[in-house]
């Protein structure tokens, strides 16, 4: 099979499945592993896919954002471990900003004994925070229904009246050159503001977010400590080529 035919086949599978394993391509294309790896490198350089641990996935569409329902059942074990590691950076009596998101939500059970004050724009966080009786301030603003986040100019004005020891953010894309990104410019502005108001910033992400870039830039990757599962060792290594970038992996 010609190289162009293999490339077309790989892209076709990705469009149908979203992800594909290296061994699956080897079996279906009857090609060597080294040949398929070379194909994936070429397609990644053409910005047609992203190589991940053990295979490849489609790049995210820049303005497309999954809903909370779509995200909450993905990489659940990794998110819990990432959240546990992130919570280890919190000291007793800290005032923290907890961003909306399914990974940051996993931090809440680890906050009970730390006597923290939480400010959040995540409506999905509120029931658990109430259940655990954690002192909480809810950001006021406009509700974004797809992600259950509070956003908008009013949210920014509200947030600007406070200062934080630490802030914990979710992110849709993390790229060594394009920085931290998210599909929604209004959410990007709120995340950027939270970073500026915090002594320390942590970005929580599973490895599927690495080497991705979405529509709106939040900050440079050197502006926060990245906590990830480390499954994509190559992507982590690329980030760490920049001496200013700090990456904490749970492995």
Q: What are the extents of the domains in the chain?
A: 3-58, 68-249
- How many other CB atoms are found less than 10 A from the CB of residue 28? 14
Place of tokens 């990007």: 188
Q: Give 34-84 pLDDT, tens digit per residue.
A: 999 999 988 888 777 888 778 888 776 655 566 565 555 567 899 999 999
Looking at the domain covering 68-249, what would its CATH class be? alpha beta
Under DSSP, the state recorded for 217 is E
Is 184:151 a contact under the CB 8 Å cutoff? Answer: yes
Rg, the chain, Cα only: 19
Mean pLDDT of 123-143: 97
CA 196, CA 180: separation in Å to the nearest integer? 14
Query: What was the pLDDT predicted at 67?
Result: 59
Per-residue confidence at 11, pLDDT binned at 50, 70, 90? confident
Q: Which CATH code for domain 3-58? A: 1.10.10.10
Give the model confidence (pLDDT) of 176-222 as tens digits.
888 999 999 999 999 999 999 999 999 999 988 998 888 899 999 99
Domains 3-58 and 68-249 share a fold: no
How far apart, in whole angstroms, are the C-alpha atoms of residue 195 and residue 203?
Answer: 10
């Amino acid at each position: 099979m010609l190289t162009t035919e293999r490339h077309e086949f790989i892209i076709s599978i990705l469009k149908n499945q979203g992800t594909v394993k290296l061994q699956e391509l080897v079996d279906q294309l009857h090609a060597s592993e080294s040949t398929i790896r070379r194909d994936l490198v070429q397609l990644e350089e053409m910005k047609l896919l992203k190589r991940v641990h053990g295979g490849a996935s489609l790049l995210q569409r820049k303005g497309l954002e999954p809903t909370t329902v779509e995200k909450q059942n993905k990489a659940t074990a990794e998110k819990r471990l990432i959240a546990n590691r992130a919570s280890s950076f919190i000291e007793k009596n800290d005032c923290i900003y907890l961003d909306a998101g399914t990974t940051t939500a996993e931090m809440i059970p680890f906050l009970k004994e730390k006597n923290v004050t939480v400010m959040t724009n995540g409506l999905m966080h509120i029931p658990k925070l109430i259940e655990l009786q954690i002192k909480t301030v809810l950001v006021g603003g406009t509700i974004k229904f797809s992600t259950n986040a509070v956003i908008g100019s009013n949210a920014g004005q509200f947030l600007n009246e406070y200062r934080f020891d630490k802030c914990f953010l979710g992110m849709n894309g993390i790229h060594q050159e394009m920085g931290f990104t998210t599909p929604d410019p209004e959410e990007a502005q709120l995340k950027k503001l939270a970073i500026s108001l915090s002594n320390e910033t942590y970005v929580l992400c599973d490895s599927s977010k690495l080497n991705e870039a979405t529509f709106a830039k939040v900050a440079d990757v050197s502006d926060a400590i990245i906590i990830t599962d480390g499954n994509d060792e190559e992507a982590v290594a690329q980030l760490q080529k920049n001496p200013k970038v700090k990456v904490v992996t749970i492995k």
